[in-house]
Amino acid sequence: MDKNKSNNILYFSIAVIVFALIGTGLFLVNNHSIPAPVLTGGYKFSKGVSANSLDLNYSEINKLNRCFFSNRNAVNNVSLTIHLDGDAKKKSASAIKQDTKLRFRVILESKSGMKFIPEVRTCSRKELVKRVIYSFDRGAEALKTYSANPALKDKVIQIVDI
C-alpha cells in the first residue's frame, strides 16, 4: 500500500471519529432539555380548578392523552369542570392535596355536534384521573352508539347520563 493511500485512510478515520464525538456531545447537551408532557389541546378546563393547580404528574398526563387519542374517532372536544367539594372550598385551589375532595364533570362533544353530559361526580384528587378516564370512556362509547344510529345523523343531541 502506498503512502498516499494510507494517509487518506488515516485522515478519513480521524474525520469519522471527530464527527462521532461532536454528534455524541450534541446529543448529550440536548438530552437534558426533554420537554415535559402536556395535555392535548382537546381538553378544555372551564370554570373551577385549572390544570396547573391539579399538579398532574407525567403519568397522569400521559393516561389522559392516551384516553383522548384512543377515542379520537368519537370525541372532538372534552370540557372538564372541576370544583373543590364542601370544606375544601374554604382552602385555596393551590392547596390541593391527594386526599382533597373534588367535584367534576366530563362533557364530551362529538364531531357531529352530539354532546354527552354526565352528572357531577365526587372523588378525591388521588382518584380523579382514573374516574375522568372512566367517564370519558363511557361517554365515548355512548357517542359511538348514538352516532351509528342513522335516524340521529346530522341532529344536535345531548346525551344526559344519570
Domain map (residue ranges) of the chain: 1-34, 43-161
Which grid cell sits at 139?
Answer: 361517554
128-142 mean pLDDT = 91
Q: Is the dihedral of CA 130, 42, 110, 148 positive or negative?
A: negative
pLDDT at 92 over 60: no
Which one has a higher pLDDT value, 73 or 37? Answer: 73
- Reduce the DSSP state of residue 82 to 3 states and report it: strand
* pLDDT band at residue 31 using 50, 70 and 90 as cut-offs: low
Which one has a higher pLDDT value, 86 or 110? Answer: 110
Query: What pLDDT score was predicted for residue 87?
Result: 60
CA 53 from centroid of its chain's CA atoms = 16
Q: Is the dihedral of CA 49, 51, 53, 59 positive or negative?
A: positive
Which grid cell sits at 153?
Answer: 345523523
Query: What pLDDT score was predicted for residue 85?
Result: 79
Query: What pLDDT score was predicted for residue 1?
Result: 55
Contacts of 106 (CB under 8 A, 6+ apart): 78, 79, 80, 118, 132, 135, 136, 139
CB-CB contact of 159 with 114 (8 Å): yes
- 158-161 and 115-118 strand pairing: parallel
* pLDDT band at residue 44 using 50, 70 and 90 as cut-offs: confident
Read off the pLDDT of residues 51-76 as tens digits, 9 standing for 90 and up: 788 888 888 888 988 999 998 888 88
Query: What pLDDT score was predicted for residue 53?
Result: 82
pLDDT at 161 over 70: no
CA angle (37 as vertex; 124, 88 as ends), nearest 5: 20
